Amino acid sequence: MKKEIFTELIKDTSNILLLDIREADELAEDATIEGAVNMPMGKVFTEAIKGNLEKDKQIVVFCRTGGRAAIVERELRERGYEIDGLEGGLTGLHNV
C-alpha cells in the first residue's frame, strides 16, 4: 500500500485494524501511529491460528521498513484475511 493511500485510510480507523508488528524495544525507539495495536510479528501468526484476528475488518499492517509487514500480509492473505501492508514501513512514511 502506497503511503498516500495509507495516510488517507488511517484518518478513520473504525473499519480497519491497524497493526504495528514491531517488537517492544523498537517501540521504545520510535512512537507508533495513533490508533494502532502493537502485536509483534510472531504473535500475529499465533493469534491468526487461534482465530483471534477479525476477518470482518480490513487489516493494515506496518513495521519499521516494510519487510516483516510484507511477510505478514502474504501469509494472512493466504488464510483469507483482507490485509494490506505499508510499503516502505514507517521509514518510508516519514521520509517525504
Task: Kindly report the backbone phi and psi dihedral angles of residue 66, in degrees, each rounded to the nearest multiple of 5, phi listed first.
Answer: 105, -15
Domain boundaries, the chain: 3-94
| Grid cell locating 27 | 517501540
pLDDT in tens, 40-87: 999 999 999 999 998 888 999 999 999 999 999 999 999 999 999 988
Return the CATH class of domain 3-94. alpha beta
Which pairing describes strands 16-20 and 58-62: parallel, antiparallel, or unpaired?
A: parallel
Stretch 21-44: mean pLDDT, rounded?
89
pLDDT in tens, 1-14: 777 787 777 777 77
pLDDT in tens, 34-51: 889 999 999 999 999 999
**DSSP letter string over 32-76?**
--TTPEE--HHHHHHHHHHT-S-SSSEEEEE-SSSHHHHHHHHHH
